[in-house]
């Protein structure tokens, strides 16, 4: 079965560039982003991991840990880091999982079922589906799932934007509209009556009977 929003993120143990981890224990009481890439020493992946390294501070501000994964061995991850720094100017200080037996990749549906049992002998075609993102909350539930094709590098600013929305809407009875960014107006959910909305938000704008906008809550 494929994973869905609000499923418990499967726990696992794995070897990483920072030693062995147990995923749920590694997450702790905070948030996490688990993201996979197709293959080390490839162009798009090099830009992606460098971009994530550059944004690590932004994730940290939000209480979010980041961890990468591919089916390459940990030793390959370690050798690749010099290339990432040369190409992007950023050093990878977050852990990278070496998933040579495909255990985690299959657990999270990052690979087709017929991929085999190890990373040995895999071709570029086998890697085409391996560009996934999972945002996991403190309750260990999956909050967001994204998948990209091999040739399309991800927009990690969008992942930060989504995390801002997820964290905000987990705290307040609001939703965020299309293209919303931090600090912009939000939508009051249907669970809140007009009278309650005045108490909670002070004022709001009724665009349609089912679409009410208000300032982003700050408390």
Residue-range domain boundaries for the chain: 13-154, 172-214
Is the alpha carbon torsion for 105, 111, 117, 122 positive or negative?
Answer: negative
Distance CA 132, CA 82 (A): 23
List of residues 6+ apart from 201 with CB closer than 8 A: 188, 214, 215, 217
Ranges of H-type helices in 100-179:
103-107, 156-171
Instruction: Please give the average pLDDT of every successive group of 10 residues along the chain, which has 219 residues.
Output: 92 98 98 95 96 98 97 96 98 96 91 59 54 96 93 95 97 97 97 96 96 93
CATH of 172-214, one of 3.40.720.10, 2.102.10.10, 3.40.630.30, 3.30.1020.10: 3.30.1020.10
Domain 13-154 belongs to what topology? Glutaredoxin (3.40.30)
* pLDDT at site 111: 81
* pLDDT at site 87: 98
* pLDDT at site 2: 87
Catalytic residues: 45
């Amino acid at each position: 079965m494929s994973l869905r929003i609000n499923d418990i993120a499967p726990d696992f143990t794995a070897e990483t560039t920072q030693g062995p981890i147990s995923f749920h224990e590694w997450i702790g009481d905070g948030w996490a982003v688990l993201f996979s890439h197709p293959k080390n020493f490839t162009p798009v992946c090099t830009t992606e991991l460098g971009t994530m390294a550059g944004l690590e501070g932004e994730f940290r501000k939000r209480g979010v840990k980041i961890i990468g994964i591919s089916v390459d061995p940990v030793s390959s991850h370690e050798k690749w880091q010099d290339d990432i720094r040369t190409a992007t100017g950023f050093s990878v200080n977050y852990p990278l999982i070496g998933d040579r037996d495909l255990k985690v990749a299959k657990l999270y549906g990052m690979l087709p079922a017929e991929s085999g049992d190890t990373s040995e002998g895999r071709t570029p075609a086998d890697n085409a589906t391996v560009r996934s993102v999972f945002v996991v909350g403190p309750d260990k539930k999956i909050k967001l799932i994204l998948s990209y094709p091999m040739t399309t590098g991800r927009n990690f600013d969008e992942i930060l934007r989504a995390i801002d929305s997820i964290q905000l809407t987990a705290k307040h009875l609001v939703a965020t509209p299309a293209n919303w960014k931090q600090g912009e107006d939000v939508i009051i959910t249907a669970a809140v009556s007009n009278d309650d909305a005045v108490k909670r938000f002070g004022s709001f704008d009724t665009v349609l009977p089912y679409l009410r906008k208000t300032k982003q809550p700050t408390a």
